[in-house]
Amino acid sequence: MEQNTVQIQQEEEPSKTVTEKAMETVNAKDEVNKGESKEQDEHKTKDIVVIEEKKMVDEENAASPSGIQKISSFREESNLLSDLKEYEKKALSELRRGKRRGTASNEGKEEETPAQANTEQKEIAAIGSKKDSTDKKVEKEEEIPERGEEAKETTKQEAVAEQNIDKDIALWGVPLLPSKGDIRTDTVLLKLLRAREFKVTDAFEMLINILKWRKENKIDSILGEDIEADLGPMAYMEGNDRNGHPLCFNIFAVFGHDELYGKTFEEKREKYLRRRIQLMEKGIQKLDFKPGGASAILHINDLKNTPLPTKKELRNATKKGVELLQDNYPEFVAKNIFINVPFWYYPYSALFSPSLSQRTKNKFVYARPAKVTDTLLKYIAASQIPVQYGGLKRENDSEFSVEDDAKEAIVKAGSHETIEIPAPEAGNTLIWDLTVSGWEVNYKEEFVPTDEGSYTIIVQKGRRITWQDGTIRNSFTNKEPGKIVITIENGAFKKKRILYRYKTKTSSSL
């Protein structure tokens, strides 16, 4: 690690590592319960906050040099040890060593001694047993009464037990044993701690439950499963936001089709949930768990034409899916953006509020249809936003790619702005994309020849453009040198942002 990174001292006893305990506990017999239900901090619990996106704050001063207002505070919490607070470092250190501490009910009690830790390990089975015969051997040796050289016999038992531990145990592709020296391990442990408000006991139990759930449901092999293609349109992964987080688009309108609805929820609800888990695992494959890297996914939930939650099956499946992801994928949501939000959804979302942590609620952002483009542009570049949401990204686009960044222009309130695309040579084809935040402007396109004696050609007759019209793409082949002039008139009382890009195809490349 870098010099400025604070090293966490690891205990010499291998029996006290968190992963060995977790691995042993997962295979424990039925007496290992799921643990106490999640504690809710009543002092912090608040009514659900509807964060409907409003107009840019102090637009004139807050805009970045390029003009696009970005959310500077939208960053994952740092995973660098040097950036952690003292109590966070202490909790991480204790979780790595496998100590159970941190709940209000056990504060003030003596910490677990090495002898107690060893006793606890003897009472539970190891998750990574490599051969059944080895397990039987361990059980047999534990049944033999200790005689004579007690210390020698104990050492022998511990050596056999240590052979049962899977040294390659990992979670989401990240080794869990601190002894592996992987810098990504702390990132995973911090996710657990943050999801449980840095209560070490709760974070430890969460880790055990996740490992147990993944083993019981064969999650590690889910990527190889072929789950119905019919479920594909409901959600897909594509693109990244400005900070490198993968984008997950969830489309809820498909549940409005009766034939799909019945098939998904009434007949194959479990398959739908498994398909959703598979998509989550695919997204995690794209994450960088190194300190400073993107280790969460930005979710965009399109509620356009979403059916009313009048059917019990729909409500139950939605609730189950939310709880499943929250319990088994802690802190994997960078932001949860709901777009095209209907009015009825606000009171409906309050029903789920009690089951969500305050940390989860703080990641919710809501946007009405007219604010979709403005909202997404705060987090995602225009070249990564699909055209149906006011961006420049088109499916199977042969003209532009996500690497073709958009330029920007500002049209002030009550004024107009022109964009010029040069065409110095005749016989070339000009292609351009253009979108305006919020639209509601007058728009026209012209070709103006360099020769003043030639006539101006109207490419696009002036017309009113609304937010429903979406992104504009057009092209023009010039027969003489000149330029394309795009004029945008803004009659509103606030400025508009214009995002555009263009390219020139020479006659030889056509």
Residue 234 lies in a domain: yes
User: What mean pLDDT do residues 466-485 have?
Assistant: 92
Instruction: Note whether 209 and 252 are same-domain residues.
Output: no
Pick from 168, 186, 221: which residue ends a domain? 221
Q: Are residues 289 and 276 in the same domain?
A: yes
Is the confidence at residue 138, as pLDDT, over 60? no
Decide: helix, strand or coil at residue 344: coil
101 alpha carbon, distance to own chain's centre: 29
Stretch 383-395: mean pLDDT = 93
**pLDDT higher for 246 or 31?**
246
**Segment 81-95 mean pLDDT:** 88
CB-side neighbour CA atoms (13 Å) of 358: 10
Same domain, 242 and 381: yes
* Residue-level pLDDT at 438: 79
Please tell me whether residues 193 and 325 are part of one structural domain.
no
Q: Amino acid letter at 69?
A: Q
**Residue 158, domain extent:** 14-39+74-221
Q: What's the alpha-carbon Rg for the chain, to the nearest Å?
A: 29
**Is residue 232 domain-shared with residue 214, that is, in the same domain?**
no
- Residues 148 and 197 both lie in one domain: yes
Give domain status of residue 279, yes or no: yes
Range from 92-96, 323-327, 366-370, 443-447 that averages highest in pLDDT: 443-447
Are both 319 and 183 inside the same structural domain?
Answer: no
Average confidence (pLDDT) over 480-494: 95
Query: 475 and 383, same structural domain?
Result: no
417 — pLDDT class (breaks 50, 70, 90):
very high
- Phi/psi at 281 (5° precision): -65, -35
Find the mean pLDDT for residues 322-336. Answer: 91
Q: What are 161-212's pLDDT values in tens digits? A: 444 445 678 899 998 887 888 899 999 999 999 999 999 999 999 999 999 9
The share of the chain scoring above pLDDT 70, in percent, equals: 67
Question: Is there a single domain that holds both residue 27 and residue 171?
Answer: yes
Quote the tokens at residue 478: 């010039």
Q: How confident is the model at residue 265 (pLDDT cuts 50, 70, 90)?
A: low
499, with CB counted inside 10 A (0-12, 13-18, 19+), is: buried
Boundary (domain end) residue, out of 172, 201, 221: 221
> Rounded to an integer, what distance in angstroms lies between the CA atom of residue 50 and that of residue 346?
7
What is the side-by-side order of every strand in the sheet holding 364-367?
A: 235-240, 246-251, 297-302, 333-339, 364-367
Determine, yes or no, domain membership for 87: yes
In-domain check, residue 89: yes
In a domain, residue 4? The reply is: no
Average pLDDT value for residue range 367-391: 93
* Phi, psi dihedral angles at 89 (to 5 degrees): -60, -40
Residues 6 or more apart from 367 whose CB is under 8 A from it?
52, 53, 337, 338, 339, 340, 341, 374, 375, 376
**CA–CA gap between residue 411 and residue 56 (Å, rounded):** 15
Q: Please give the pLDDT value at position 266.
A: 59
Q: How high is the mean pLDDT of the chain?
A: 75
For 29-52, the pLDDT digits (tens) are: 444 344 444 444 444 433 333 333
The SS3 assignment for 495 reads: coil
Asked whether residue 246 carries a pLDDT value surpassing 60, the answer given is yes
Distances from the Cα of 446 to the Cα of 163, 341, 450, 488, 505, angstroms: 77, 37, 13, 12, 18
Confirm whether 400 is domain-assigned.
no
What is the pLDDT, as a whole number, of residue 110?
42
For 297-316, how does the pLDDT look when each residue is reduced to its tens digit (9 = 90+)? Answer: 999 999 998 887 776 767 77
Please report, for the domain that includes residue 482, its CATH number.
2.60.120.680
Contact 1, 7 (CB under 8 A): yes
SS3 of 363, please? coil
- Specify if 7 maps to a domain: no
In this structure, of 48-57, 227-236, 332-341, 343-352, the range with the lowest mean pLDDT score is 48-57
**Mean pLDDT, to the nearest integer, of 389-396?**
92
* Residue 467 to residue 373: CA distance in whole angstroms: 9
Domain match, 248 and 340 both: yes
Residue 509's pLDDT band (cuts 50, 70, 90): low
101 band by pLDDT with thresholds 50, 70 and 90: very low
The CATH code of the domain that includes 249 is: 3.40.525.10
pLDDT at res. 317: 75
Task: Please count the structural domains in the chain.
Answer: 3
Is pLDDT above 90 for 455? Answer: yes
Would 510 be classed as within a structural domain? no
What is the band of 213 on the pLDDT scale with cuts at 50, 70, 90? very high
Residue written as token pair 């309130």: 413
Which of 318-327, 335-344, 446-455, 489-498 is least confident?
A: 318-327
Residue 160: per-residue pLDDT: 43
Q: What is the DSSP string of 92-123?
A: HHHHHHT-----GGGTTSPPPPHHHHHHHHHH
Of 221, 254, 286, the last residue of a domain is 221
Q: Given the structure tokens 């060995």, which residue do they identify?
A: 20
Instruction: Specify whether 350 is located in the same domain as 423.
Output: no
What's the whole-model pTM score?
A: 0.73
In this structure, what token pair is assigned to residue 134? Answer: 């080895």
Encode pLDDT of 66-76 as tens digits.
444 455 445 66
Rounded to 5 degrees, φ, ψ at 432 are -145, 150
- Rounded to whole angstroms, what are the CA distances from 419 to 65, 94, 229, 267, 500? 19, 59, 44, 54, 9
Asked whether residue 133 carries a pLDDT value surpassing 80, the answer given is no
Residues 169, 116 within the same domain = yes
